[in-house]
Chains A and B, each alone.
Chain A
Amino acid sequence: MDDKTNALREHVKGIFSNLELVLGWEPGYDPLHTRPFYVRTESDIDRLTANCLSFQNLTRYLAKSMNAVDPAADGRKIGVCVKGCDSRSLVALIQEKFVSRDRVYVIGLPCRGTLDARRIRALVPDPARIRSVNAEGDELVVETDRGISRFALDRAIARKCLQCRYPNPVIHDVLIGDPVTPRLKIDAENPSVAAVEALSLEDRLLFWENQLDRCIRCFACRNACPLCVCQNHCIMETRMPKWITQYRNMNEKFMFHMIHALHLAGRCTECGECERVCPVGIPVALIKEKINAIIYEMLDYESGIDPEAVPPLLTFSPKETGI
Chain B
Amino acid sequence: MTSSPLIELAGITHRYGATVALDGCQLDIRPGEIHGLVGENGSGKSTVVKLLSGIMAPTEGTVRVDGKDVDLRSPTAAQAHGVLTVFQETLISDDCSGLDNVFAGTDGLFRRRRRSKAELELATEVVERLGTSPSILTASPYQLSLAERQVLTLTRALVRPWRLLILDEATSALDLATRDRLFALLQAERSNGRSVLFVSHRMDELEILIDRATVQRSGHTVGTVDRAEATPSRLLSMMDGRSESEHAGAATVTARRRDEQGTAARLCGVALSSDARPFDLDVRRGEILGVGGLDGHGAVALVEAFAGVSLPPKGKVEIDRDGLWSRVRGYRNAVASGIAYVPGKRQEEGLFRTLDVRDNLAMATYGEHSRLGVLRPHAIQQAVRAQMQRLGVVPDDPDYPITGLSGGNAQKVLVGRWLAAEPDLLVLNDPLRGVDIGTKREFYALMRELTDAGMTVVMLSTEIEELLTSCDRVAVCHDHGLEAVLEGDEMTYDGVLSAMFGQAPTLATHERTRA
Do A and B pair up? The answer is no
A interface, CB within 8 angstroms of B:
none
B interface, CB within 8 angstroms of A:
none
